[in-house]
Structure 1
Amino acid sequence: MSLFIQIEEVEALSSIYGDEWCVIDEASMIFCIKISSSSDEPKLTVCLQIILPNGYPSTAPPIYQINAAWLRGPERAKLANSLEDLYVEHAGESILYLWVEQIRDFLVEKSQSSDAVPQPEKRNMTAEEEVDDDEDIPDLRTLKLNTDNEHLFLSQSDDDELPPIKHGNAITDRRSTFQPHLAPVVTPRQVKMVLEKLYENKKFASATHNIYAFRIYCEDKQSFLHDCEDDGETAAGGRLLHLLQILDVRNVMVVVSRWYGGILLGPDRFKHINNCARNILVEEGYVGSTVRCSLGLLHKHSVFFC
């Protein structure tokens, strides 16, 4: 029955949105829609990527990801929270149309506000990563989502406490500064709480990029819930998550802030991001002595941290 409802909803959305609606993998129910504020300037655009799990809409929410280099920090969290609120309000119902229009309303409101032009995108894009506006939208033919994201909806408890946040030593290279932050997390809600707390700090909020990754072990499913964010530093989040996987750490979130100093670092920036993360994981006891030794050899021979 769920599949029939999904097919009906997809057909309706395709009819409503036309070329804006894109089928990535019909068999896996993976779709994408490009949403814009309007045809007027300034025009803001995001790409909403969606996976419809087997239980949607009756028992499971859509798995989603929002792509927009200019959308970050508190504004990204605000939009994500509004989508989750809509899902909770309409639990068991088809929700995609409401989500798309909610995002469109958000973009219209943003474009009409005094800070309508998305300056954070320009501030967050170093010369190493500057791209045309159209490149904010990923190649739809190769788009894949991390299906673990569906768990982001499963922790709605208000009982989650803000975990302690540790701040590691900074690395500076050619006027760019990298600083790691770490927090133990056992629910996605705690991930959000940590980010919100960090963004309350003006220095953190002013960083050119705040890259993060987390890895949570779900005892009941005996599997890992994980996700990452580039925050404008393309591929940095994925590399950071890969580091957490290589180290086999669990129930931890690592954030690396970068303040761009005006001089291009090239691939060295990824080395500094991962080294910052590795250092704070070692300092906080998430990495054993055997792994530390192996990491030292890898670093020495530039196998992983290049």
Structure 2
Amino acid sequence: MEANKERQIEEIVALTSIYEDLFELENEDNYTVRIEEGEMKASLTIALNQDYPSAAPPIYSLFAPFLSKTDRQELTRNLESVYLDNIGESVVFLWIEEIRQYLQNIDTSTGCDNNETCDTVINQQLEDLLINDKSSPLVECPEIYTTDVFEDRKSVFQGHCAVVHNTDEIKAVLNKLYENKKIAHATHNMQAYRIYLQDKNSWLQDCDDDGETAAGSRMLHLLEILEAKNVLVVVSRWYGGIQLGPDRFKHINNMTRRALEESGMLSQDKTAQHNKKKKNK
């Protein structure tokens, strides 16, 4: 642990020297580096832990609101690859340069010219990030229940759920959740919803993996098994640098069920019935 601390201090000294005014030290365990490429401005906030760099990566938060959801997922995967290629080494400088290179490509793709400034493009990208459909009437956001966090090998999971009756309410809930920067910057925000359309005697349901392949469909399958009705569940995951394998799906499903049970959105009869089926297997 002492060796890790010494290496962290050495890295901070090096980063301060390299980035100078772009480097902001909050305390001995937290700092932020601003990354500027043309009109693209981002910031990488690092939270050091006692296992970095020998056995785990630092916890990071990337603020780059102009990135699309797809771009953010791709960049996140790139940073994870950088760490996996350099396990046991100090990686913050490599992360910063990976982000810088990515922004250079994004900057080129915006196609800014004299008639359309980059600021205009960025503002449009920010609007595209909003889940609101402007053609839809404004709706009041349903009450959202959020669980406590669960941690396994540096990965953190948290569940959120709300009673919803239409897609407008779903959008309102997601927008409200993403106002929280911590949730917005999660590695994955997987979701599933199931709504009963009484007038059509049919179900409206869908899911989103958000980069965690097959996670959303598993959540939706659980909602179907539990016969959940008129609910949206979102599970946030902050990747901690250690691959969990199939355990990640167990945790995602557990947080889905936990959010429903703790919020009272799932009847006790259905919960008991589901637990009984599990025991009988």
Give me the TM-score of the superposition, normalised by structure 2.
Answer: 0.53
Q: Does the 8 A contact of 2:153 with 2:240 survive in 1?
A: yes
Check 1:160–1:199 CA distance in 2 against 1; reply closer, same or farther (3 A cut).
Answer: same
Q: Distance in 2 between matches of 1:231 and 1:73?
A: 18
Q: Which residue in 1 is equivalent to 2:214?
A: 235
The match for 1:120 is 73
**Conserved in 2, the CA contact under 8 Å of 1:124 and 1:232?**
no
Asked whether 1:183 is paired with 2:162, we answer: yes
| Distance in 2 of aligned mates of 1:162 and 1:187 | 12
SS of the residue aligned with 1:118?
Answer: helix
Report Cα offsets for 1:182-219 as digits up to 9, x if no partner. 11111101111111111111100111000001111111
Amino acid at match of 2:71: P
Residue from 237, 241, 244 that aligns with 1:265: 244
Verify the 8 A CA contact 1:228 1:241 in the aligned structure 2. Answer: yes
Once the two structures are TM-superposed, the CA of residue 155 in structure 1 deviates from its matched residue by 11
SS at match of 1:254: strand
Letter in 1 for 2:260: L
The structure with the larger Rg is: 2
In the TM superposition, 1:213-232 aligns within 5 A as 213-232=192-211
Aligned equivalents of 2:76 and 2:176: distance in 1?
A: 22
Contact 1:216 1:250 (C-alpha < 8 Å) held by counterparts: yes
Gaps of 5+ in 1: 1-71, 77-116, 131-153
Aligned equivalents of 2:246, 2:223: Cα separation in 1: 19
The separation in 2 between residues aligned to 1:195 and 1:124, in whole angstroms, is: 23
Q: 1:159 to 1:221 in 2, by over 3 A?
A: same
**Contact 1:208 1:260 (C-alpha < 8 Å) held by counterparts:** yes
Q: Is the 8 A contact 1:155 1:188 kept in 2?
A: no
Alpha-carbon distance between aligned partners in 2 of 1:166 and 1:124, rounded to the nearest angstrom: 29
Task: Give me the whole-angstrom Cα distance separating, in 2, the residues matched to 1:74 and 1:253.
Answer: 25
**Superposed displacement of residue 293, structure 1:** 2.4
Q: Contact 1:156 / 1:189 at 8 angstroms: preserved in 2?
A: no
8 A Cα contact 2:163 2:265, kept in partner? no
| CA distance in structure 2 between the partners assigned to 1:73 and 1:295 by the alignment | 43
Q: 1:291 aligns with which of 262, 270, 277?
A: 270
Q: Distance in 2 between matches of 1:205 and 1:199?
A: 5
When the two structures are aligned, how many residues end up with a matched partner? 168
RMSD: 3.2
**Residue identity in the other structure for 1:239:** R
Could you tell me whether the CA contact under 8 Å between 2:191 and 2:235 is conserved in 1?
yes
1:168 matched to 2:147: yes
Q: Is the 8 A contact 1:182 1:253 kept in 2?
A: yes
Aligned residues of 1:183 and 1:253 also touching (Cα < 8 A): yes
Whether contact under 8 Å (2:156, 2:237) holds in the other structure is yes
Unaligned runs of 5+ in 2: 1-64, 85-132
Separation in 1, partners of 2:72, 2:277 = 39
